[in-house]
Amino acid sequence: MAVDVVAPQPAQRRGMASFFPILAWLPQYNRGWLRPDLIAGVTVVTLLVPEGMAYAELAGMPPETIFYAAPFALLLYAIFGTSRQLVVGASSVQAVMSFSIIAALVAPGTPEFIVLTTALAVAVGAVAILAGLLRLGRIAQFFSASVLAGFVSGLAAVIAIKQLPKLFGIESGSGNVWERLYDLLIHLPETQVLTLAVGLSTLVIMVLLERYFHRIPAALVALIYGIAVSAIFGLSDLGVHVMGEIQAGMAPPKLPNITLDQWLALIPGALALALVIFAEAIGPARSFATKYRYPINPDQELIGLGAANLGAGLFQGFTVGSSLSRSAANDAAGAKSQMSGVIAAGLTVLVALFLTPLFEQLPEATLAAIVLVAIARLFKWRELLRLYRLRRLDFTLALVTFLGVLTFDEALYALLLAVVLSMVALVWRASQGRMTELGLARGQLRFEQLGSTAKTAPIAGMLIFAPEESLFFANADTVRVQITNRLAASAEPVTSVLLDLELTNEIDVPSADMLQELHADLEAAGVRLMLARVRPVVRDLLDRGGVSEAIGAENIHGRVLEGVVAHLSATGAHAGTFLGLSNDALRRMQRAVDEMLSQTTDEQRAQLEAVQLQLSRAVEETERS
């Protein structure tokens, strides 16, 4: 029996496209974009292959595994990601973190190490996808940019120190950065001069190209140079270490065969890696989106990055992330859409199938030089200097994180330190209980910080406070103490205190208890406590906790102005201020009517002119009073 297929409705298509962004951009693909996307895809591959082989070694994996990880990471991100210019693939930061996480479980270089590395990529992908489905994209906002600058700079230093022995042709040491540096220094007399010459000449070529001929892919030139010099002069026979035989072809998809206990042991590292991958990717993605004016969905970005890692792991690769250098090159080459990533994926497959023998004579010193130049961009020394100039606390947090990365053997511990420092900084700042004391800005009918302008003046007999952070258990008591201290220091008698809770989106029980205690303290001193701009969720808890009843519903106002009017209405001695408020309000209405008169029709003009006349008379009466 034939089955009628119902075409999806527009709403259905939109719903599918929200999870599969490729369904939104591919049907509307502009054929005029194909040429710049093709050029961008080729450019990405010229950087991806040499850098990716080096990063595979950083992850403790065979260099050919970049060909397993990259194509499917690029393709899956193009299907699920929302950024048009972001390039996902092997990254130095993720490679180093992957190595440190797996090295803590098994010995590097063993078959089990390789299997666990692929499993880690799968776990990272699953964690990121789950986080995206749970709409946890906002988590990146809690990762301090200052701390992240120190963390990434520290990882750059770690990578550089690990690559230096390859550049000098000596055995690499172990331990943290300080131990590796000491080991490097005592073994410098063993330097292989020819290996050092190859590495240094590669460095010079790349630096000169990037400085004076930045449109030429320096990594690709360095790759060709290293292979050519090695083949012509037979460097492998002269003691220079080369890549050797690289397995051609693609690996079939395979779920890593590990035990449940091993999967569970990978979860902490997977959580850390997923957080770092997202934190590194969302910044460049938003930057490109702002530049080209298209939307970015952080939750969908988590899913796209997760899918890329899931594909890399299932095809026996390693953890991948966003590449700032390749993304910038992709953008500079003119990439218009995610099609550049699809093209790069296809070209990488062709290299894996037919061109791997070209890399067998590549000196390891050349790869080390490529990595050193690439990670030099990761060292955020300009940002660290900027933090030092602008705010010493942010600089201190970044510096502590940087030193932590250098000192800990495992990057995971340094990342944990970075996260803890970020949270400590957040809670510490919020716990300060900073408040702004408000006064009336005459002629504008609004309340501003006292002393901000010469026309801002306090309301007689009243103190108005606006906390600069949401009230919660850590700052509630500080707020209470500041209010009572200010009340005690007031030279003029005070009968009302108003607390503006606009920034308090949600309140906890200790903060609600503080408000009730503050009311009791003020009431004992003959002062009325008033609240303004209390959000519904906050009011609900205050009602259920009996705080609203204690303060009095008549003392909880929708706006600061309402509280001020209630205060003035209760005290005849402040009639002058009340009249000033009325005069300000009337003048604002008068200006609004004047603007409407210039835009209205003839039918409404007579009515507005009558209102304008009444307002003018009212203003004159309040001014005479």
pLDDT single digits (tens) 549-573? 999 999 999 888 888 888 877 765 4
Distances (CA, A) of 59 to 90, 98, 268, 365, 448: 10, 6, 18, 17, 56
Going by pLDDT thresholds of 50, 70 and 90, the confidence category of residue 528 is: very high
CA nearest to 180, candidates 194, 192, 162: 162
Q: What's 7's DSSP letter?
A: P
Packing angle of the helix pair 298-314, 65-80 (nearest 10 deg):
150
Query: What 3-state class would DSSP assign to 410?
Result: coil
d(CA 541, CA 131): 30
Beta strands in 223-380 (DSSP E): 321-322
What is the pLDDT, as a whole number, of residue 125? 96
d(CA 403, CA 391): 19
Pairing type for strands 556-557 and 528-532 reads parallel
d(CA 460, CA 329): 63
Residues across the chain: 625
Is the pLDDT at 8 greater than 50? The verdict is no
Going by pLDDT thresholds of 50, 70 and 90, the confidence category of residue 4 is: very low
pLDDT single digits (tens) 304-332? 999 999 999 999 999 999 876 678 777 87
83 CB-contact burial (10 Å; exposed 0-12 / middle 13-18 / buried 19+): buried
Query: Where do the structural domains in the chain lie, given as residue ranges?
Result: 33-160+248-357+380-426, 435-570, 577-624
User: Which residues are registered as beta bridge partners of 532?
Assistant: 500, 557
Question: pTM of whole model > 0.75?
Answer: no
**CATH code linked to domain 435-570:** 3.30.750.24
Residues 476-495, mean pLDDT to the nearest whole number: 91
Going by pLDDT thresholds of 50, 70 and 90, the confidence category of residue 150 is: confident
Is the pLDDT at 5 greater than 60? The verdict is no
Higher pLDDT, 201 or 283: 201
Higher pLDDT, 100 or 437: 437
d(CA 76, CA 53): 20
CA nearest to 95, candidates 317, 359, 333: 317
pLDDT single digits (tens) 278-311? 877 876 787 788 788 888 888 999 999 999 999 9
CB 225 within 8 A of CB 365: no
What is the pLDDT, as a whole number, of residue 614? 59
Residues 250-267, mean pLDDT to the nearest whole number: 91
CB 461 within 8 A of CB 568: no
Is the pLDDT at 159 greater than 80? The verdict is no
Going by pLDDT thresholds of 50, 70 and 90, the confidence category of residue 120 is: very high
What is the pLDDT, as a whole number, of residue 325? 66
CB 226 within 8 A of CB 200: no
Is the pLDDT at 604 greater than 90? The verdict is no
